[in-house]
Chains A and B, each alone.
Chain A
Amino acid sequence: MNLNEMIDSEMEIEEDTQKDKYLVFTIDKEKYGIEIKYVIEIIGIQTITKVPELDDYIKGIINLRGKIIPVMDVRVRFKKPVMEYDDRTCIVVVDVGELTVGLIVDRVSEVVNISEDQVVLPPVTSKKEKNKYINGIGKIGEEVRLLIDCNKLLNDDDKDTIKELI
């Protein structure tokens, strides 16, 4: 086997280990899953510097070892009641494409395997916005995890399209 092939297969293995794995976190009463490949690290809550004129769900910026990243409060993003941050509040740092963003979640619980055949599409409701951040529902035994679409969570396309329409 030459070098290139070796690297390729190495990459495949790495991808394989990440496949079907989700990091589960809680917001309010629901449990959500986020694909593990997006997650860089999980850190405790830290001092957030406010930046004026931002959407309310972006809380500001934090200093992650010299790198400055924005943080988003997923609670506010999902329009849930605001809760004070406590010891168990976590920032999940995700890397989606070029963007590195911290997601503030109530608590992080575990990493689970949800194989593809256990994932169903979210029910189509007339109110579209209700599940616009969810791209699937994963079943684990009797329980379900709402699987988050990272791209949609970070990029508020709807808003821009509305702006364009006006």
Chain B
Amino acid sequence: MSQENKDPLLEMYIFETNELIQKLEEIILESEKNNSYSLNMDEIFRIMHTIKGNSAMLLYDNISLLAHSMEDLFDYIRKCKPSNIKYSEITDLVLESKDFIRVEIEKIQMNNEPDGDAKNLISKVKNTLLSLKGDDEGTKENCLEKKKKPDLKQKFYISSLRKTSPKIIMDNEQNHPYKVVVKFINNAKMENVRAFTIVHNLDVIVKNISYVPKDIIENEESIKEILENGFTLYFESDKPMEELKKIINRTSCVESVQIEPVEETAAKQVKSITPDCNENVENTNSSHNHITSNILSVNVEKMDMLMDLVGELVVAESMVTGSSDLNGIHLENFNKSARQLRKIINDLQDIVMDVRMVPIAPTFLKMNRIVRDMCKKLSKEVELKLIGEDTEVDKNIIESISDPLMHLIRNSMDHGIESTKERVAKGKNPKGTITLTAKNEGGDVFIIIKDDGAGLNKISIYNKAFANGLTDKSIEELSDKEVNSFILLPGFSTNDSVTEYSGRGVGMDVVCKNIDNIRGTVSINSVEGKEMTTIIKIPLTLAIIDGMLIEVGNTSYTIPTISIRRSFKLEEKDLIIDPDGNEMVMVRGECYPLISLYKVFNEETEITDALDGIIIMVENGGKSICLLADQLIGQQQVVIKALPKYIKKTKGIAGCTLLGNGNISLILDASALIS
């Protein structure tokens, strides 16, 4: 997200609209499954309405018109309940619109003008509506009548995401123009600021607000004018005058408020319809289980800053309580308070960590769409099952697993699941199943994608790998696991033809790269002809790792515990030196290269003999090497910090971390050392 000082209103709009269209997609897909819109009608309506209103407010006409036409469509469905709804057609339409809106929002986000043309889509929507109406001639008049009865309660919607500043968006037909003259009491002072407060208060509930004098904030001269002529506002609103008056009166020092409707429309009497909007929303929300009632959206940068600060607090605390000045002094009360402080800081750290955690559900639900679209295109029948979507992971991780998941699902859809015919011939359930599971285990999150399709064909993978020179062993020598791991290599595809969805061999590479970036691993299990399972193992959070502190010379390094296999003292008989002087270590009959860290990092140390130091075996991506360090210091959770940008990337160092005493420890990058 670009962090330039964007108009907060715009930022909110982008965030909210994105959220809304995502939800719309979920709902629409769910409705299609149930073949009924009745459960979610209000929700769909509310989303359309909010998008329409917000977009219109910011003058994004294409979006608001599209939303408006969709609203018409659903309005008809809701009121007339036509019997001949083609759910899949409407779903297509809604999804297409959603994509359109998404693209436009992206443009806005990049500070471009949203210039997409929605005309085609709108006419499509209109045609659908017409055909619905046409087929449903009988009920048509009926419902037109119904339409006349103003179903006013339904016309009020409020975005649940804006609890703090409820913004009500109304239908135009209920807005009435008003003119208001406000006079402040004498000696009120700061009339311009007070006037602005009124504007601000009204802004959220009225439309098209304008006022005289115009430049109340910029120009202090305006105070005089306000004093002389009063502060005049023009706006449109559906609220009764009394209520508007009340709102204006909320500002202090208001002497008198004069409200008058500008046209005779007021004669029609504004139907007094001001339902408690909040209540209305609460109802619709509770029907949807993925929404938590009170959400505060916070800029991720602020979160990062908070976490950094808490990290520093932890370090500072141990610097204070472990200060060498305290040595040898008996301080009962100090220690008591220090313990209390530590407890609070620990709690604080836990909470900050917890705040960054978000459920994986939205990412999973996105996959529904992919499965649905591909089902249609490939004419396969596939059901997507989601398990454990409540599992929570760090925000950064969520972002990086969305792409890999999409590729894996596509792979399963395209290669994995056979066509319905084939499935029947094989005696399988004609409907394929893809199961997406997320679960927490220890400090890791497992995401498992399982399909009951054809599985991997060991022979064809082997042949391809052999042809590409990836292996020179015979097929008998390789284990299933080794053969399976070939498909994770870039450019590897057993598909001979490139389809819309796959075949270029990029997919699995993307999966691996993305997962690797977040320090996760990918492994594949497959039973030929029956199923294929891809297991992604990722850490719970990116910011904190379990690290083993080691010492080389005077410098302390941290090795992520996840990559350590074992550590041991070397016996002379296990050390092998080849004619080139390369050292190797025999462990349980296998030979591993030995890398002396003091050589790699140019450290001065007394321990240069592999027999004196400690050997740490690290593993990454199936390969293991042994590292020689002076000694192990201990295990500790560390907060990862990036090296300053000024320092060009150094091989073998992944970042650094602060130790309890304020010193810096460098974090070793096991994968770089291995390669």
Question: How many whole Å from A20's CB to the nearest CB in chain B?
Answer: 28
- Assembled-state Cα–Cα distance A42/B16 (Å): 46
The segment out of B39-47, B58-66, B143-151, B662-670 that lies at the interface is B662-670
**Does B330 reach chain A (CB closer than 8 Å)?**
no
B602 / chain A contacts, CB cutoff of 8 Å: 52
Check if A63 sits within 8 Å of B663, measured CB to CB.
yes
Q: Given A49-B664, A49-B666, A66 and B647 touching (CB < 8 A)?
A: no
Q: Quick one: which of A67-89 are within 8 Å of B by CB?
A: 68-70
The one of B601, B643, B650 that contacts A68, using a Cβ cutoff of 8 Å: B643
Chain B, residue nearest A1 (CB): B220
Q: Does A2 reach chain B (CB closer than 8 Å)?
A: yes
A154 and B308 form a contact (CB under 8 A): no
List of A residues within 8 angstroms of B261 by Cβ: none
Contact between chains at B653 and A52 (CB < 8 Å): yes
CA distance A52 to B665 in the complex (A): 13
Q: Could you count the A-B residue pairs with CB atoms below 8 Å apart for me: how many are there? A: 67
B308, B309, B656: the one contacting A49 at CB < 8 Å is: B656
Residues in B whose Cβ lies below 8 Å from that of A50: 555, 601, 603
Which residues of B, 633-672, contact A by the 8 Å Cβ criterion? 641, 643-648, 650-653, 656, 658, 662-666
Task: Give a binary string over B385-401; 1 marks a CB under 8 Å from any A CB, 0 the rest.
Answer: 00000000000000000
Task: Tell yes or no: B218 within 8 A of A by CB.
Answer: yes
B675 within 8 A of A: no
Chain A residues with CB under 8 Å of B218's CB are 2
Chain B: residues with Cβ within 8 Å of the partner, total of: 32
Residue A128 at the chain B interface, CB threshold 8 Å: no
Complex CA–CA separation, A54 to B647 (angstroms): 7
Q: Is the CB of B664 within 8 A of A99?
A: no
Query: How many angstroms between the C-alpha atoms of A21 and B394 in the bound complex?
Result: 47
Say yes or no: A51-B647 contact (C-beta < 8 A), given A61-B664, A62-B664, A63-B664: yes
Inter-chain contacts of A58 with B (CB < 8 A): 646-647
Chain B's interface: helix, strand, loop or mixed, by majority? loop
Q: Is A129 in the interface zone, CB < 8 Å from B?
A: no
Partner of B643, one of A2, A47, A51, A98: A51
Closest to B554 in A: A50
Min distance, Cβ B561 to any Cβ of chain A, angstroms: 21
CB–CB B312/A68 < 8 A: no
- Contact A52–B601 (Cβ < 8 Å): yes
Q: Count A interface residues, CB 8 Å.
A: 22
A53 touches B651 (CB 8 A): yes
User: Are B658 and A66 in contact (CB-based, < 8 A)?
Assistant: yes
Residue B315 interfacial (CB < 8 Å): yes
Q: Which residue of B lies closest to A47 (CB)?
A: B663
A108 to B665, CA, bound (A): 29
Q: Choose one: B603, B646, B650, B658; the contact of A53 (CB below 8 Å).
A: B650
**A-chain residues with CB within 8 Å of residue B309 when the two chains form the complex:** 66
Residues of B within 8 A of A49 (CB): 555, 656, 663-666
Contact at A2–B219, with CB atoms within 8 Å?
yes
> Given that A47-B663, A63-B664 are known contacts, is A101 also in contact with B646, CB under 8 Å in the complex?
yes
Q: Report how far A58 CA is from B644 CA in the complex, Å.
A: 12
**Chain A contacts to B: CB under 8 angstroms:** 2, 47, 49-54, 58, 61-63, 65-66, 68-70, 98-101, 154
| Chain B residues within CB distance 8 Å of chain A | 217-220, 308-309, 311-312, 315, 555, 600-603, 641, 643-648, 650-653, 656, 658, 662-666
